Amino acid sequence: MSKRFTILIIPEGSHRVRRFALRLSALKWSAAGAVCCVLLMIGLTVFAVKANFDRNEFERLREQSRIHRQEMEQLVAKLEDLRKELVVMAQNDAKMRVMNKLTKPKADLLGGVGGPAVGDEPTDNLANLQQQIDDLRRDVDLRRVSQEEVQGFLNDQRSLLGSRPTGWPVRGWVTSDFGVRRDPFDGQRRMHEGMDIATRTGTPVMATAAGIIREVGTEPGYGKLVVIDHGYGFSTAYGHNSRTLVKIGQRVKRGDVIATAGNTGRSSGPHVHYEVRLNGAPVNPNKYL
């Protein structure tokens, strides 16, 4: 078998023939070189495409990282603002406790606020940032508990003030004070457990504190009587009325008209017998006018 090949090239319209003689080995090497060139071109193309993809992915990741860092810095700034607000809340809470003579909160960790500012190295760590968020959340929870305690105390104080008898039950003048006195009917010295306030018959008699009507009726010594339970151990009684205007169980506020002054019962003239009792014991109404 011949190891040489002859290639004839005849141009169109020409009678001249060109001959090229090629050895089989040269033809093999040429084919191998062509294959290598093709493979090299394919490899270069794949590398270029992959390099372009990697470059785009790197740019995307770098932009995403920049955005995440910016968001983290904004979050740290917001955390710092929250810490400052928490410090102000802690100061106000401490003032309220001092003003109302309250003890410190049970968990005395409310002052433990602070942390690195924006740009400090620890804030670049997500775990550290999460820890700061957890600490801040715990401080906020403790502050809420403390403020609920203060609010509950203030509500109790407001309720107590509303239940504490204050002011005059009727317009008039005092004719007999609280304490031991000579009885106007038999001249014997007896304890007078209230205050007598003289006024005209029909003058409105007002509740001196908020409460619930406990008693409405007629008593031999008091005449037409109204008794109000104010809670917190306080109660008040209004005697010698000409007319009562409330019912048992009715809730009244300070200043509500509950009766009209009169001269019923053991009385020498139109007036209101006014009593204040604390835990069932009579106390001087002068302390509550």
Q: How far apart are the C-alpha atoms of 60 and 45, rounded to whole Å?
A: 23
Per-residue pLDDT tens listing for the chain (289 residues): 556 667 667 777 766 777 766 676 776 787 888 888 888 888 888 888 888 888 888 888 888 888 888 887 887 787 788 788 778 777 777 777 777 777 766 555 444 444 444 444 444 566 777 777 788 778 877 877 877 887 777 778 778 787 899 999 999 999 999 999 888 777 788 899 999 999 999 999 999 999 999 999 999 889 999 999 999 999 999 999 999 999 999 999 999 999 999 999 989 899 999 999 999 999 999 999 8
Burial 115-142 (b: 16+ CB within 10 A, else e): bbeeeeeebeeeeebeebeebbeebbeb
**Which tokens is 76 given?**
């740290």
Give the pLDDT confidence score for residue 105 in this predicted structure: 66
> What is the chain's alpha carbon radius of gyration, rounded to the nearest angstrom?
50
* Helix or strand holding residue 37 (H, E): helix 24-99
Q: How many CB atoms lie within 10 A of CB 215?
A: 14
Give the pLDDT confidence score for residue 215 in this predicted structure: 96
Q: How far apart are the C-alpha atoms of 91 and 113, rounded to whole Å?
A: 12
**CATH of the domain spanning 173-288, picked from 2.60.40.2310, 3.30.70.1380, 2.70.70.10, 3.90.1150.10:** 2.70.70.10
Give the pLDDT confidence score for residue 1 in this predicted structure: 52
User: What's this model's pTM, rounded to 2 decimal places?
Assistant: 0.56
Q: How far apart are the C-alpha atoms of 22 and 7, rounded to whole Å?
A: 8
Q: How far apart are the C-alpha atoms of 215 and 223, rounded to whole Å?
A: 13
Residue 3: DSSP 8-state: -
Q: Angle CA(246)–CA(251)–CA(254) in degrees, nearest 5?
A: 90
Give the pLDDT confidence score for residue 5 in this predicted structure: 66
Return the closest-CA partner of residue 242 out of 227, 221, 228, 259.
259
Listed by start position, the domains of the chain span 4-62, 73-163, 173-288
Find all residues with CB under 8 Å of 246, minimum gap 6, and list them.
213, 216, 226, 252, 258, 259
Give the pLDDT confidence score for residue 22 in this predicted structure: 66
CB burial of residue 82 (10 Å; 0-12, 13-18, 19+): middle
